[in-house]
Structure 1
Amino acid sequence: MSSTRYAWSPMRCTTCSDDSSQFVLNDSDRTDSFRCTRCQVHGHLPYVHIEELADRLKPGQTLALRSGALHIGTPVQSPGSARHEAPEGLTVFTLGVVRLAEEKELSGTWHTLGKAHHFHFRASCMHGVFGSITIGARTGKILRGQLTHGRGAHRVEEKGTNAVRSLLSGVTPPSCPPSCAEGQHRP
């Protein structure tokens, strides 16, 4: 089972803009009401509802009460773990090849290992194509790609952006046997 790891940092107040501000539970018994530890010093009302604080979060972030203060948890991408968004720093040509794979209805995931990004893709059916594209992490350029047309077929490898683009351009929808229509698709 895979669990998300977070990098935790104290949630700072945007009202008083004090770098030492923290949100702590209000003096009441309610767990949905917080107060800023520095707002009163600056002449502001210190009380905030949890929903107002949650609205400030970016997608994927979470809130937790740690060491008596409210903290923001930002997901940490561990090296080698899969993700669906393309990493930053890819060239326009590399992104064009990735878009071509998506236009061919190939679903993909990204992995970063060492000095390379890897885009692994596959068709929805086990009789369709699958493969990967290796991209330099520093340059954002395609180094090589490989493609296999269905299970047990010969793997084709190409080097460079144009060659990998040509390889993906030739992808056609899989010709599935009747058993595929009966639900023997890849998960």
Structure 2
Amino acid sequence: MNTRIVLFVALGFMGLMIFAAILFPDFLENIMLTPAYYNHILFLHVLTVMLFFVNAVVGIFWEARSLSSKNKEVIVHTYKTVTWLDAHFSSPMIILAVSSGILLGYGNGGIWSSGWLSLSFLLFIFSGLVWIVSDIPSQYKIRDGLERLSSSIADIPPDFMNLLKRRLFISLSGVLPLFIVFVLMIYKPDFPSVMDWF
């Protein structure tokens, strides 16, 4: 299946879930007040967040190691695999993590009810924006560039290598907020909701 289609379907579904959560908070809260559902949704949330985060971090290390090798075949294989994983693995994990997180948030008084939860949600949205605005377009440029590289060229051209390094920086920019979200999710510090900051 076309990677771009998978990506856009996943992003569209996630957007619909967020929109539904804003429009139908009572429905979601009723689901979360049913004890039988809570633990299943919590398990799904922790599992998908962990898998998505680990995939992102491992991808960054893998990209960095491939770039340090300066081996064209290694770099080409790495970026093709990372792009495929982002579209076919990360996208479903993001959808499930966001959907289950919104449900859990409504079961605990709403996304905006506590500081750690509201800040986590905004950081996740920020990370997603970095991913959508910068990471995805750079992945397509890299994919197109890799397809244009002639098999007779021994080394990757310097301008293309700079694009690969820039993408690594973009990936780090998207993962750092997720690390903060992980810390907030585990420790749940008590501070006012983001809505009360203004």
**TM-score per shorter chain, which class?**
under 0.3
Whichever structure has more helix as a proportion of its residues is 2
Whichever structure has more strand as a proportion of its residues is 1
Greater relative CO (CA pairs within 8 A, separation 6+): 2
TM-score (norm 1): 0.22
| Structure ID, larger Rg | 1
